[in-house]
Amino acid sequence: MSAPPDLSALREEALAAVAAARDLAALEEARVRHLGRRSPLAELLGSIGTLPPEQRGPVGKEGNAARRAVEQALTTRREALEAEEMGARLAAERVDVTLPGDPWPSGSLHPLTQVRREVEEIFLGMGYRIADGPEVETTYHNFTALNTPEGHPAWSLADTFFVEGRDDVILRAQTSPVQVRVMESTPPPVYVIAPGTVYRRDDVDATHSPMFHQVEGFAVDEGLSLAHLKGTLLAFMRELFGRDREIRLIPHFFPFTEPSVDVSVSWTDRHGNTGWLEVAGAGMVDPNVFRAVGYDPERWTGFAFGFGLDRIVMVRHGIPDIRLLFEGDLRFLEQFS
């Protein structure tokens, strides 16, 4: 006849293991060892039927009490360890929300785009609309329809980029072909500006680039005169450069305007010297251009002008070299953000 198993020793051993567990993994190990299916306590409770009858009651009662006590201790210890681990994690992952953030680089518009938009706003305010045309253009639109017949020096290979293998397709040398395209597709009156990129075989130096930008402007209506051209350009220059500006028109020649003028704006440099700065070509639309696009030159008159946008940006910001505008150097561009 065997002695009753020493339940209180099993119970003390289990409680001691629970108390000694330093983390949740060790606690789980203790649970399996002391309460699991193969633990001495479980085996004992499972074999009560083999005990002498008079021991079954007391051993069963004490065994169940021991199991409940160990379960209770496990729960309490688990809650304590969980709280400890959470505290440690919170401390380790603490974020100081009052620290300044990492700066996020932000881009800005190119100075050419900024000034182009300003120019567009001014003309939109005067009732103009904005038109566009292809940069790969026909010689018809760039020259012939603009009263510039074949053989005129402007056609020369030395000035114009021709598309290889073609004698009738070029990179447009001016924005004036947009005049032709708009008038071909729109009945008068028209008030239009056309900003865009143009190409010429210019020598590359500080003031010339083979690719640059122009803004074309033209108006066709009944009774337009050179006075309207001058008033429009004066209003524009004052809006862009300041109320105190004056403009000056000097006779010039362009094939597609008659009369033609060079337009200068008054200028004061940073030493206080005043002078005139040539900024645009302009004139009254030649009747031959109206004939080419099917407008009646007896009824309609108009003016046109074209200026270099890059030049205006350079003057505006005191930029000495046009190439700076096209190099994409951030040290330059960031000065305009």
**Is residue 237 within 8 Å of 245, Cβ to Cβ?**
yes
Q: How far is the CB of 310 from ligand PHE (least distance, A)?
A: 13
Smallest CA-to-CA distance from 122 within 208, 63, 195 is with 195
Q: How far is the CB of 317 from ligand PHE (least distance, A)?
A: 23
Q: Which is nearer to ligand PHE, 261 or 325 (CB)?
A: 261
Q: Which is nearer to ligand PHE, 63 or 188 (CB)?
A: 188
**Cβ neighbourhood burial of 34 (10 Å; 0-12, 13-18, 19+):** buried
Q: How far is the CB of 99 from ligand PHE (least distance, A)?
A: 56
Q: Which is nearer to ligand PHE, 81 or 126 (CB)?
A: 126
DSSP state of 173: S
Q: Which stretch binds ligand PHE (CB under 6 A): 81-89, 161-169, 236-244, 301-309?
A: 301-309
Task: Say how far apart CA 43 and CA 18 lie, in whole Å.
Answer: 19
Indicate the residue whose CB is closest to ligand PHE: 306
Own/partner long-range contacts of 5-11 (Cβ < 8 Å, ≥24 apart): 5/44, 5/59, 7/44, 7/59, 7/62, 7/63, 7/66, 8/62, 8/66, 10/34, 10/40, 10/41, 10/44, 10/66, 11/41, 11/66, 11/69, 11/70
**Is residue 304 within 8 Å of 285, Cβ to Cβ?**
yes
Q: How far is the CB of 244 from ligand PHE (least distance, A)?
A: 26
264 binds ligand PHE (CB under 6 A): no
Out of 282, 293, 322, 325, point to the residue binding ligand PHE (CB under 6 A).
Answer: 282
Q: Which is nearer to ligand PHE, 73 or 286 (CB)?
A: 286
Segment 4 to 33, residues that bind ligand PHE, using CB under 6 A? none
Task: Say how far apart CA 86 and CA 227 lie, in whole Å.
Answer: 83
Out of 139, 148, 176, 264, point to the residue binding ligand PHE (CB under 6 A).
Answer: 176
SS3 311: helix
Segment 179 to 218, residues that bind ligand PHE, using CB under 6 A? 216
Q: How far is the CB of 101 from ligand PHE (least distance, A)?
A: 49
Positions in the binding site for ligand PHE (CB under 6 A): 174, 176, 216, 254, 257, 281-283, 304-306
